[in-house]
Amino acid sequence: MRNSSETHSEPAESRIVAIEAKGLSKNYGSGADSLAVLSELDCTIYCGEIIGIVGVSGVGKTTLLHILGAIDRPTKGTVFHFGQDTFALDDEQRSAFRNKRLGFVFQMHHLLPEFSAIENVMMPCLIAGADHKEAMKSSVRVLDEFGLLHRKDHKAGELSGGESQRVALARAMVKEPEMLMADEPTGNLDPHTGEKVAQLLFDLNERHKTTTVIVTHDLALASRFNRTFGLFDGKLKQMSSHELFDAFASSAGAHRDAPLL
């Protein structure tokens, strides 16, 4: 089992940087009503690692994930993906970049209810211009990998919560992205189902070396990442599992294996 004290054998300076954020600030509103969510935040994420971002509700975790994933723009600062300034791209170029190199999984699976599981998984391929046969082949492969091939023709409303989240994960991984961004991927699942989804994320990281960034409230899950960061006052701080518990769970009156409120 992974834990946050796990280290990589090679020195940091010899590893390839997947994501580098410098001086990120994000404000909502203006003037006296301005709300600062992120403040001169820096972070470096290396290729192939799986990291967690933990914080209380409303602290800005999802905002940070969206900026790191080139969905939302920072008020100030830069984000580099493999050395490329993502926000120097225009909107069309940035959309193409996300489709090709990033995968996203959200707390709510956001499956299209009128489509079957396999049709949902095919969407990123079709948006990228793949022909139907190629998109179908890729989607069958990833659904089979996730143990969902027998559910490929079922619509979203016919799937369980865990199945829906696994289909959403299959959709995120169908184009074999280099980076995966997951926002509370186990947040709406019962503990048993959530553990199965979490283990699938770790297995994907292990097999495909996909750089993975996960936002979570779950301290038990957070303790298993290569590195885990707490988000405080708009900045990230790398923390051990014990430090995370002391900083977050104690103030929430939670048990060590309980999620944050």
Structure confidence at residue 14 (pLDDT): 58
pTM value is 0.85
Instruction: Render pLDDT for 93-119 as a digit per residue (tens, 0 to 9).
Output: 998 898 889 999 887 778 998 999 999
Cα–Cα distance measured from residue 131 to residue 134, given in angstroms and rounded to the nearest whole number: 5
Domains of the chain: 50-75+90-252 (3.40.50.300)
Nearest by Cα to 54 from 253, 211, 240: 240
State the pLDDT at residue 128.
86
pLDDT digits (tens, 9 = 90+) for 123-171: 999 998 899 999 999 999 999 988 899 999 999 889 998 899 889 999 9
Nearest to 185 by CA among 226, 220, 214: 214
Torsion of the alpha carbons at 145, 146, 151 and 157, rounded to the nearest 10: -150
Q: How far is Cα 211 from Cα 102, in angstroms, rounded to an integer? A: 10
Q: Which residue has the higher pLDDT, 6 or 160?
A: 160
Write out pLDDT tens, residues 204-254. Answer: 899 889 999 999 888 888 889 999 999 998 999 999 888 888 887 655 544
